[in-house]
Structure 1
Amino acid sequence: MMKNTMNKNIKRIATHVLLASSFTMLPVLASAQEKIPSEEIAQARELVKIFGSDLKSVLKTTMGTAGPIKALEVCHVQAGPIADKNSASSTWDIARTSLKVRNENNAPDAFELAVLQQFEQRKAAGESLKTMEYAETVQANGKTLYRYMKPIPTAGLCLACHGSTLADDVSTKINELYPNDTATGFAAGDIRGAFTLQKIKY
């Protein structure tokens, strides 16, 4: 069963990369935001703030009291439920994704991959991650969706498990929990990934 699941995840990633290769570059944020009501943008921003705070609080507390090994275990078990809890409190679905994922289930779809690449370009051009975001109304499977993304900066706390140099026991634990992990080699200030939200337009 695990082998079949892994094969499906690898196929999913490959499909996303192929789709992204033909994905037209998205318009600039200011133009895209005009397509989504301002109240929806405000809701998405607030949800990202709450979700990020909840997750950071759990990881920071665990890291401080039990160290990075326990923090990895907690993130492995609790990140999904925390996202689900915040999604359930709103009409948005919320998750995380990255150009270098730890959990293969978080691999970006074509839309997310294009936005993540755009975020890297905007950062290279000098834009601040604090104010960077992207929102657009898209059509998918016959439905109109609002989509919103916000980059996640790499903080010092992240480097124990996502940096370029990891302790041996941390590397061992990562390989145990995430055999196909690619989410290392980050430096402070890098784009670790992004919060990604979507909802059906009613």
Structure 2
Amino acid sequence: MNKSLLMIGLAVLLSACGEKTEKVAEAPAEAPKAAEQATAPAQQAAALAVDKAVLAEEAKAAVQALGSTLKGELEAAMKAGGPVEAMGICHTKAPEIAKAVSTEKGLQVSRVSLKNRNPDMGVANEWQTKVLNDFETKKAAGEDPATLVHAEVVGSEFRFMKAIPTAAVCLNCHGTDLSPAVTAKLSELYPNDKAVGYKEGDLRGAFVVVKNLVQ
């Protein structure tokens, strides 16, 4: 009888020791998993930051391509026939240049404004209007308009905008004191034109670059 009780006691004691040993062995296995869960958001955030920076550089290159090509065309037109000739370039060539750059870069590149000239193009949508208003606020606070940029990822879409300051040469077609010839041409090409009344340094709009990140 005593021998039986002793055997049962030993079995219970060994069983209890086995449970403690098993629990201690499991603890280290869960620690790496917890560490992975803690570092995963940080790694994702770092990857997103790198991607966003790369995308912003791509967008800047696209804006530079559109801006420099359009500027060259306008300067040549100004020399050939003055502001009226330049308006013809804006009317016909600007959309073609934007389309060509978009195709070459694999991005959607355009220009928008709160006071658009072409009723079929350049009309800012909701998020673009918000950014343009933000640019205006920053300019009013003393920031250089030439440095104003915006970049964000919303869902599967990368969005980039760069402000367009009004240069002195732009006032020939966008200023407050337009020649009769320019006024007549504007009435012909853009009967509902809103893009006038600017002064040098005003924000005339922005370049927009959009990329769908889901291919």
Q: TM-score with structure 1 length normalisation?
A: 0.79
Deviations 1:144-169 (A, max 9, x none): 10000000110111000000110111
Identify the residue that residue 192 of structure 1 maps to in structure 2: 204
Q: TM-score with structure 2 length normalisation?
A: 0.74
* Superposed counterparts of 1:118-129, under 5 Å: 118-129=134-145
Deviations 1:16-38 (A, max 9, x none): xxxxxxxxxxxxxxxxx949521
Q: Distance in 1 between matches of 2:54 and 2:186?
A: 40
Identity of aligned residues (%): 40
Assess if the C-alpha contact under 8 Å between 2:164 and 2:206 holds in 1: yes
Deviations 1:70-103 (A, max 9, x none): 1111110000000001001112100000011101
Count of aligned residue pairs for this structure pair:
166
Where does structure 1 differ by over 3 angstroms across 4 or more consecutive aligned residues?
Answer: 33-36
| Displacement of 1:61 | 1.3
Q: Distance in 2 between matches of 1:89 and 1:107?
A: 23
Is 1:45–2:60 an aligned residue pair? yes
Higher relative helix content: 2
Assess if the C-alpha contact under 8 Å between 1:97 and 1:106 holds in 2: yes
Q: Which runs of 5+ in 1 are unaligned?
A: 1-32
| Displacement of 1:138 | 1.6
Q: Distance in 2 between matches of 1:35 and 1:100?
A: 35
Give the AA of the match of 1:156. Answer: A
Identify the range of structure 1 (34-43 vs 75-84) with the bigger mean alpha-carbon deviation.
34-43
Q: Distance in 1 between matches of 2:209 and 2:65?
A: 13
Identify the residue that residue 11 of structure 1 maps to in structure 2: none
Identify the residue that residue 117 of structure 1 maps to in structure 2: 133
Task: Considering Cα pairs closer than 8 Å and 6+ residues apart, tell me whether 1 or 2 has the greater RCO.
Answer: 1
Q: Which runs of 5+ in 2 are unaligned?
A: 1-47
Provide the secondary structure at the position in 2 that maps to 1:123. helix
Structure with the greater alpha carbon radius of gyration: 2
